[in-house]
Amino acid sequence: MQELVYISEATKAFSTSELAELVSTARKNNALMDITGILLFDQEKYFLQVLEGPEGNIQALLSKIKNDPRNTDVLVVHVGNISHRTFNDWSMSLKEVDSKRLNLFKNKHLLGEVISEVPSGLVGELITRFCLDEYTEGER
């Protein structure tokens, strides 16, 4: 099973209903493709998505997303093999996150150094927790 994390840039402003439609399509398709994960959006510019599932299905979905005109500059920041999932249902929840957090992941070089120290299978979870602010300021 593969875990893939990418960041991309929104090409337009999304209304609540447009986002809801995107997520609803994702849920429907991902359940059929055995893909789980989470979608983070700063409500302005950047998406970060964690995808988990069979490698072929993840790669097929990534090509669809790369061709989706609603986003651009799809940058894969991590890909690796996992033995179990961090996200166990097909809900593909959408969470609003602080753009400052997502911005950090634009620096692939910096991120690569951090990620190389993280055990395989924990990267998606770690990035998500970081973006969702579960690590509070001052906690080092």
Ligand X SMILES: Cc1cc2nc3c(=O)[nH]c(=O)nc-3n(C[C@H](O)[C@H](O)[C@H](O)COP(=O)(O)O)c2cc1C
Distance of closest approach, residue 28 Cβ to ligand X, in angstroms:
7
Stretch that binds ligand X, among 24-32, 76-84, 110-118, 127-135 (CB under 6 A): 24-32
**Residue 12 makes contact with ligand X by CB under 6 A:** no
State which of positions 100-139 bind ligand X (CB under 6 A): none
d(CA 26, CA 102): 21
Window 29-58: residues binding ligand X (CB under 6 A): 29-30, 39, 47, 49
In sequence order, which ranges of 34-122 are alpha helices (DSSP H)? 55-66, 99-104, 108-115
Q: By CB under 6 A, which span of 21-29, 80-88, 105-113, 116-124 interacts with ligand X?
A: 21-29
Q: Does 92 bind ligand X (CB under 6 A)?
A: yes
86 binds ligand X (CB under 6 A): no
Task: List the strands of the sheet with 2-10, edge to edge.
Answer: 71-81, 2-10, 46-53, 36-41, 93-96
What is the C-alpha separation between 2 and 35, in angstroms, rounded?
A: 10
Q: Of 56 and 140, which has the nearer Cβ to ligand X?
A: 56
| Count of beta carbons in the 10 Å neighbourhood of residue 99 | 13
76 phi and psi angles, rounded to 5 deg: -75, 120
Closer residue to ligand X, CB minimum distance, 47 or 87: 47
Q: Which two tokens stand for residue 91?
A: 């809900």
Contact residues for ligand X (CB under 6 A)? Answer: 8, 22, 25-26, 29-30, 39, 47, 49, 61, 64-65, 68, 70-71, 92
